Amino acid sequence: AQKITQTQPGMFVQEKEAVTLDCTYDTSDPSYGLFWYKQPSSGEMIFLIYQGSYDQQNATEGRYSLNFQKARKSANLVISASQLGDSAMYFCAMREGVSSNYKLTFGKGTLLTVNP
Amino acid sequence: GAVVSQHPSRVICKSGTSVKIECRSLDFQATTMFWYRQFPKQSLMLMATSNEGSKATYEQGVEKDKFLINHASLTLSTLTVTSAHPEDSSFYICSAGLIGGSPYEQYFGPGTRLTVT
């Protein structure tokens, strides 16, 4: 079974609107971390936001927020006030365990296109 | 902040030759580095986990004799693609975990685009 599932191969959003990118995960480890990365066409992986499994509050970083629903094992990324520069590939990832030296498992990604 | 570099950024080589890709943590020490491969329009697939001073741990299906990994110091890991073939053409990305850093910090290099002709 896939550990990280992103069901939206592509999403479109109008500039200045909000968009939600879906991510569900599967793990039996009680300690895990969930990540979202942005990959523009240049290829670099840009860290956006992190949610730990024991974090009580949803993570927020500027225009990015993570809608963490632990019982449903979902960690959706919400981008508010979309900008043209947000057009990129977005990957959800999970690390099982608490150390930054544990490997990440990535979803297949969602290609976001922001229309003017 | 923590920076990871990769060299070269792009390389073109002939089939049958070997190519070495370097991954360096520039301003921090990393006991563990990870090597990923990404084919066009696909996700990142972990190839191996590289630990300083010990043998790399390869993921299932990755040929350890073809993809040689050396982690000689706390700031340098290298990936050598031996006897490269066109099907090895891909985007290779490394990442490094920060010793003593926040639990969520894993830093990615900018990637190396390999084309085998």
**Distance in Å, alpha carbon of A44 to nearest chain B alpha carbon:** 5
Distance (Å, whole) CA B86 – CA B44:
19
* pLDDT at position A82: 98
Question: Which residue among B93, B97, B108 sits closest to A99, beta carbon to beta carbon?
Answer: B97
Show residues of chain A in contact with B93, CB under 8 Å: 43, 45
Distance (Å, whole) CA A36 – CA A51:
9
Residue B103, chain A, CB below 8 Å: the answer is yes
Q: How many CB atoms lie within 10 A of CB B45?
A: 16
Distance (Å, whole) CA A33 – CA A78:
17
Distance (Å, whole) CA B75 – CA B72:
8
* pLDDT at position B2: 80
| pLDDT band at A116; cut points 50, 70, 90 | very high
Residue B98 token pair: 């920060």
Q: How many CB atoms lie within 10 A of CB B1?
A: 7
Q: Could you tell me which chain B residue has the CA closest to the CA of A107? A: B43
What's the average model confidence in pLDDT over A38-52?
A: 94
Question: Residues 66..95 of A with a Cβ closer than 8 Å to B: which?
Answer: 91, 95
């290099």: which residue's tokens? B109
Distance (Å, whole) CA B58 – CA B85:
20
Say if CB B62 and CB B81 are below 8 A apart: no
* pLDDT at position A100: 63
Question: Residues 3..62 of B with a Cβ closer than 8 Å to A: which?
Answer: 31-32, 34, 38, 42-46, 49
Tens digit of pLDDT per residue, chain B (117 long)?
Answer: 688 999 999 999 999 999 999 999 998 888 889 999 999 989 999 999 998 888 899 999 999 999 999 988 889 999 999 999 999 999 999 999 876 666 567 889 999 999 999
* pLDDT at position B29: 86
Residue A64, chain B, CB below 8 Å: the answer is no
Q: Could you tell me which chain A residue has the CA closest to the CA of B107? A: A47
Cα–Cα distances in Å, from A103 out to A44, A73, B83? Answer: 18, 19, 27
